[in-house]
Amino acid sequence: MDQATIGEKSVNRLLPVLAGVAIQLCLGTAYIWGIFQVELIARFGWSQAAAALPFSLLIFFMSVGCYLGGRFQDKFSPRPVIRIGGAVLGLGFVLASLTTAATPWWIYLTYGVIGGLGMGTTYTTTIACCQKWFPDKRGLITGCIVSALGFGGIIFTNVAAPLIRRRGVMETFVWLGLIFVIVCLAGAQFIKNPPPGYRPAGWTPQRAKARPAGLDLATAGMVRTPQFYLVTLTLMLACSAGFMVIPYAKTIGIAGGLSPEAATGGVMIISLFNSGGRLFWGWISDKLGRKRTVLILLVLAAVSIPLLMVVRSWSIFAVMALVAFAYGGFLGVFPSLTADFFGMAHAAANYGMVLLGFGFGSIIFTYVAGIFRDTGRFGAAFILASFASLVGAALFWFLKPPLLSGQPAGSLESVGEGIDR
* Domains in the chain with CATH codes: 11-196+208-397 (1.20.1250.20)
Confidence of residue 198 (pLDDT cuts 50, 70, 90): confident
Under the banding of pLDDT at 50, 70 and 90, the label for residue 376 is: confident
Element containing residue 208 per DSSP (H, E): none
Please give the residue that has the higher pLDDT: either 83 or 38: 83
CA distance 411 to 57: 42
The answer to which of 278-282, 348-352, 405-409 has the lowest mean pLDDT is 405-409
How many Cβ atoms sit within 10 Å of the Cβ of residue 91? Answer: 17
Report the relative pairing of strands 9-12 and 3-6 from DSSP bridges.
Answer: antiparallel
d(CA 351, CA 230): 13
Percentage of the chain exceeding pLDDT 70: 90
pLDDT at 133: 85
Q: How far apart are CA 47 and CA 217, in angstroms?
A: 44
| Sequence-ordered list of residues with C-beta below 8 angstroms from that of 54, at least 6 positions apart, any chain | 33, 36, 96, 107, 108, 111, 112
d(CA 261, CA 253): 10
What are the residue ranges of helices labelled H in 256-289? 260-288
Distance, first Cα to last Cα, the chain: 31
Most confident segment among 69-73, 201-205, 269-273: 269-273
What confidence category does residue 252 fall into, taking pLDDT thresholds of 50, 70 and 90? confident
Most confidently predicted of 29-33, 191-195, 269-273, 289-293: 289-293
> Is pLDDT of 344 > 80?
no
Q: What is the pLDDT of residue 421?
A: 52
Q: What is the pLDDT of residue 274?
A: 86
Helix, strand, or coil (residue 3): strand
Given a cut of 80, whether residue 408 has pLDDT beyond it is no
Q: How confident is the model at residue 3 (pLDDT cuts 50, 70, 90)?
A: low
pTM for the structure as a whole: 0.77
Dist. CA 119–CA 106, nearest whole Å: 18
**Residue-level pLDDT at 168:** 92
